Amino acid sequence: MSSLFSLLLSILLLSPKPSTAFLPRAKLTTSDPQKPQNFHPRSHSQSPSPTKFFEVTRPISKPSSNCLSPSSPTISPANLRHAPTATRYSPPFCLPPRLRRALGHPPRSSAGPSTCSAASRPTSIFGVWLSGVELLRSCTAEPRPDPGIAWTVEKDITRYSSLLSHPQTLAVYVGNLVDKTYTGIYHVNLSIEFYFGEPNKPKMPNVAPGFNSPADLVMPVSRPLPLNDGQWFEVQNSADLQTSEVLFPKNVYRAVLEVYVSFHQNDEFWYTNPPNEYIEKNNISLAGNGAFREVVVSLDGSVVGAVWPFTVIYTGGVNPLLWRPITGIGSFDLPSYDIEITPFLERVLDGKKHVLGFGVSDALDVWYVDANLHLWLDSRSKKTVGELIKYTAPQIELSLISKFNGLDGRFDTVVKREISATGWVKSSYGKITTHFFQTFDFKNYMEFKGNGSDQIVNQTIDFNHGVYAKHPSSVVYSEQVFQNFPLYLYTGTSDQVNDTYSLVSNVTLGFNEKKFSGEKFGFASSNLRNLQNAQGSMHVKGNLVTGGLGSTQQVYKYEGTDGCYFRNVSSRNYTVLYDESGGSCTERLGYF
């Protein structure tokens, strides 16, 4: 039978009094270049039930039959700042001997008093790990006085199914601090649901299952417990290389490294950072190092892939009033990024430990990075062999045009990068040659006006990557993904008198993806267009927001061989103005 596993995480925040959360950096104004400030949310009316926040995404299709893992911990900590909460996961009795599919159902959460945008306090980025394998990275919603807030995140964790068949340590880390100022408390419920569908088609005996089924083994590339933080590595600057030793089984015939990335504190808004020359000549205190960042992944010192991350805006980012109750794209379920390292297996099948490394170019403090290593094993062989045929990973091509006079100026950053590798692995399934490539294109146009009080950022990331695997006489599997991440950001500060000012912000954020995949017995395609427009203004006195407005509009369109989904929703100051959704495939999305 096919199986689908769902991870369900619920978080409820209760605040005995209005709690304070940090505003994102006021770095967009040169006259007030401080770290994130406190903000005091104000509501027009009290609701009898918690305010429900949500991220717009496609619902997960589930079979009708399901069962629940007996490990469904409820966590109600007053202070989760110092260590992850660990519990014992046990598979349910209804789990069949062989797992085919798993579906992950993460958090229904109500967030605490901190937000992901905090710099001088613990952030509310949080993660869920099963024996060190990260299942989910998310951000809490912005706090509100009693009766608090709540939200739900659902994630398909089918790809981690090999982990779910035996007892494991389940760890949840939510950065939360409770004191006289920060009074909110999280109530977290986490469960894993298993769904069983119709029997799968019989497997072809001589076809490698590694290209159409979850991995046989998923290994953590993260920090082990016990810890006083999440299990991610912390990259604090551009010279900081975080590494982990990994022992690969000798009978691996496919390997994929799944990388989780999130950015915080001085680099939370890295795409708004001007060059250091601008900062030094104007003698101002902004986060710098320019507006480009690249997560570089290495194996024994050789670059095997890169991540140019989607610009997730957390629930307190830019203007906290924008994200109520619709949150930013990816904020409740941060994306992960796959790097095919099968062509490099020749280097790691020797029974020795090898080093995976993670660095971030031009990084400021702090980036959280870890990874999961998905391995497909040849059960009919004790050892596979391979060879790296071709490999290229030239340095990035970066162009920066910088023109400024005093606090006003323009900075144009254009970056390109290509990485590719081809290699073969011989197993009982035959000799399979795998080609993997990544092509990146980054454009960031930044402008300061009004003596530095206004900033405009217009950025686009284009990412094209693919995998082609073939026998000498036929194609085993192919996948090509085109991703496009547009971002427009305007922030303007006015009416500055002493410690009082007004901030106007406009945001356009998009996540577009077109995917084609095929194997010997089928073909699949999908097209996603996900676009948000948000506008807001707020009045700040000292560390507190004393008033303001925020509104968000979002259109989500998905069309694929596995179905369609559409949602058009708008909100303003906690109120949903309209919400339309449907699942019919009546409209062609086209290319982006």
Over range 367-377, report the average pLDDT: 98
Cα four-point dihedral sign 495, 534, 25, 396: negative
d(CA 71, CA 68): 8
Residue 162's SS3 state is helix
Residue 280 DSSP SS3: helix
Q: Which pLDDT score is estimated for 204?
A: 52
Residues 115 and 316 sit within 8 Å (Cβ to Cβ) = yes
Instruction: Give the mean pLDDT of 249-263.
Output: 98
Portion of the chain with pLDDT greater than 90, in percent = 61
Nearest CA among 275, 271, 320 for reference residue 53: 320
- pLDDT surpasses 90 at 540: no
One-letter amino acid for residue 563 of the chain: G
The mean pLDDT value for 214-219 works out to 96
Half-sphere exposure of 193 (CA within 13 A, CB side): 19
Question: Would you list the DSSP string of 188-245?
Answer: EEEEEEEEE-SPPPPPPTTS-GGGTS--SEEEEESPPSS-SS-SSEEE-STT--EEEE
Percent of the chain surpassing pLDDT 70? 79
Q: What pLDDT is stored for residue 95 in this prediction?
A: 65
Residue 122: band (very low, low, confident or very high) from pLDDT cuts 50, 70, 90: very low
Tens-place pLDDT, residues 47-104: 468 889 999 999 988 776 666 665 445 555 444 556 788 888 888 777 655 543 343 3
Tell whether the torsion through CA atoms of 500, 552, 23 and 457 is positive or negative.
negative
Position 346 pLDDT exceeds 80: yes
Question: What is the arithmetic mean of pLDDT over 23-52?
Answer: 45
Which stretch, 13-27, 67-81, 113-127, has highest mean pLDDT?
67-81
Q: Which residues contact residue 13 at a Cβ distance below 8 angstroms, ignoring those fewer than 6 apart? A: 50, 110, 111, 112, 113, 140, 141, 143, 144, 148, 149, 150, 184, 185, 186, 187
Residue 23 pLDDT exceeds 90: no
Report the pLDDT value the prediction gives residue 7, as an integer from 0 to 100.
61
Residue 391 binned pLDDT confidence (cut-offs 50, 70, 90): very high
Q: What letter represents residue 369's amino acid?
A: V
What is the rounded distance in angstroms from the CA atom of residue 345 to the CA atom of residue 248?
9
> Residue 520: which pLDDT band, with cuts at 50, 70 and 90?
low
Token pair in block for residue 117: 């945008």
Q: Are strands 21-22 and 38-39 parallel, antiparallel or unpaired?
A: antiparallel
More confident residue, 544 or 574: 574
Q: What is the pLDDT of residue 12?
A: 57
The average pLDDT across 541-561 equals 91
CB atoms < 10 A from the CB of 64, how many? Answer: 7
pLDDT, averaged across the chain: 84
**Do 492 and 454 touch, CB atoms closer than 8 A?**
yes
CA pair distance 177, 404, nearest whole angstrom: 42
Q: Average of pLDDT values for 207-223?
A: 88
Q: What is the pLDDT of residue 133?
A: 98
Is the torsion defined by CA of 50, 532, 38, 267 positive or negative? Answer: positive
Q: pLDDT tens, 257-314?
A: 999 999 999 999 999 999 999 999 999 999 999 999 999 999 999 999 999 999 999 9
| pLDDT greater than 90 at residue 44 | no
Q: What distance separates the 2 farthest-apart alpha carbons in the chain?
A: 75
More confidently predicted of 589 and 149: 149
CA distance 493 to 157: 43
More confident residue, 477 or 28: 477
Which position has the higher pLDDT, 43 or 360? 360
Q: 22 with 158: CB under 8 angstroms? A: no
pLDDT band for position 111 (cuts 50, 70, 90):
very low
Higher pLDDT, 591 or 488: 488
Contact 506, 488 (CB under 8 A): yes
Query: Given a cut of 70, is residue 404 above it in pLDDT?
Result: yes
Q: What is the pLDDT of residue 519?
A: 76
By C-alpha distance, which of 335, 310, 334, 332 is closest to 323?
332
DSSP states of 291-303: S---EEEEETTEE
Distances (CA, A) of 183 to 81, 111, 126, 259, 321: 13, 12, 18, 34, 20
Cis peptide before 96 (omega within 30 of 0): no
CA angle, residues 430, 436, 440, in degrees to nearest 5: 175
Structure token pair of residue 31: 């006259």
CA distance linking residue 146 with residue 160, whole number of Å = 37
More confident residue, 389 or 315: 389
Residue 385 confidence (pLDDT):
98
357-381 per-residue burial string, b: 16 or more CB within 10 A, e: under 16: bbbbbbbbebbbbbbbbbbbbbeee
Across 548-559, average pLDDT: 97
Q: How far apart are CA 549 and CA 528, in angstroms?
A: 30
3-state secondary structure of 349: coil
Q: Is the pLDDT of residue 163 over 80?
A: yes
User: Mean of the pLDDT values across residues 326-333?
Assistant: 96
Phi, psi of 347 (to 5 degrees): -80, -15
Residue that wins the pLDDT comparison between 31 and 585: 585
Residue 15: what pLDDT?
A: 43
DSSP per position, 308-344: -------TTSS-GGGSSSBPPTTSSS--EEEEE-GGG
> Cα(232)–Cα(334) distance, rounded to whole angstroms?
14
Map residue 279 onto helix, strand or coil.
Answer: helix
Between 208 and 224, the more confident residue is: 224
Mean pLDDT, residues 98-124: 36
Banded pLDDT at 401 (limits 50, 70, 90): very high
